[in-house]
Amino acid sequence: MEVENLSMSSIWRLVISQLAKTLPSKVLILMIHAKIFLVGKPEMDKEFQAADLDKEIVPGQTVVEIGANIGGLTVFLSQLVGVNGKIICFEPNPIAFSLLTKNTKGLRNVSCYNLAVGRKSTEDQMVGNHPTDTYFSRFKTTTNYKFAFRVKVVSLHEFLSSKSRKVDWLVIDAEGAELDILKGSRNIISSMKPKMFVETHPYLVPGIDLAVVGYLEKYGYSSQTVSQDRGLVTFKFIPNFRGPA
């Protein structure tokens, strides 16, 4: 592979991958911070740009964002809900979480948790190809991964049981864990009927898009496809206010 034929992003990943073999994780985090400072703040994924969130989410609402990554969407959600609203976001990757807390610093309506969300409270392993990737998956659809780390997993129902706020929206982008998350949120789904934007990853977990739609239909949700591209399918779910069949 000739370096002169690589993009700057690819060169950066190549350099970091080599350095990761010897440098402590704290040094890697500082280097990624420097990259973010040089190239600017991240923007939200185009899948969520297509969702017209500013027409859906209103001031005063509570949004739970699962898979917040480095905060490109979180900052925008914070603006939409305003000072009387609340963003509760989860990101298990410690490197991505470090950037998330940096990018949301000073936003009083945002609370960030370095946790994965799943069907039940436990521990699990996340895997990926590069130590500084800001996306890792709990689903080992291939053995061809190079890096892994342990994460604490919580069920959303158990985590929010002590919170008094009603959840108005669930926004989920979790690299294949979507159905697991929804099953761990079933009490919230049935009692609070939050609206949802869910990005599914059938390229990681074949059929996950259809499984998510089928699961939420049992709770009286109708679905609308917001975006379909690059092996990703993003849905908007609206409750019809009836319980599971």
Provide mean pLDDT across the span 121-145. 58
Residues 122 and 171 in one domain: yes
Average pLDDT of the chain is 78
> What is the rounded average pLDDT of the residues 60-64?
97
For the chain, percent of residues with pLDDT exceeding 90: 40
What does the pLDDT read at residue 44? 56
Q: In the chain, how many domains are there?
A: 2
In a domain, 245, yes or no: no
The C-alpha angle 229, 232, 235, rounded to 5 degrees, equals 100
Q: Is the pLDDT of residue 31 over 70?
A: no
Do residues 25 and 92 share a domain? no
User: Is 13's pLDDT higher than 60?
Assistant: no
Whether residue 31 sits in one domain with residue 49: no
What pLDDT sits at residue 106?
92
Residue 58 near residue 33, CB atoms below 8 Å: no
The reply to whether 212 falls in a domain is yes
pLDDT value for 204: 80
Residue 202 and residue 127 share a domain: yes
* 120 and 146 part of one domain: yes
* Among 18-22, 74-78, 111-115, the least confident range: 18-22
21 confidence band (pLDDT: 50, 70, 90): low
Residue 112, domain member (yes or no): yes
> What's residue 53's pLDDT?
83
Q: Are residues 5 and 36 in the same domain?
A: yes
Say if residue 92 is in the same domain as residue 119: yes
Range with lowest mean pLDDT among 50-54, 74-78, 185-189, 224-228:
50-54
- 1 and 58, same domain (yes or no): no
Report which of residues 54 and 26 the model is more confident about. Answer: 54
pLDDT at 1: 37
pLDDT bracket for residue 196 (50, 70, 90): very high
Q: What is the pLDDT of residue 185?
A: 94
If you average pLDDT over each of 40-44, 61-65, 112-116, 155-159, which comes out highest?
61-65
Domain extent at residue 71: 43-239
Query: Which tokens is 133 given?
Result: 């990737």
Residue 244 lies in a domain: no
- Say whether both 86 and 33 belong to one domain: no
CATH of residue 145's domain is 3.40.50.150
pLDDT at 110 over 80: yes
Task: State the pLDDT at residue 40.
Answer: 44
> What is the C-alpha separation between 112 and 104, in angstroms, rounded?
9
Residues 215, 94 within the same domain: yes
107 pLDDT above the threshold of 90: yes
Do residues 135 and 152 share a domain?
Answer: yes
219/125: higher pLDDT = 219
Q: What is the pLDDT of residue 230?
A: 75
Is 181:89 a contact under the CB 8 Å cutoff? no
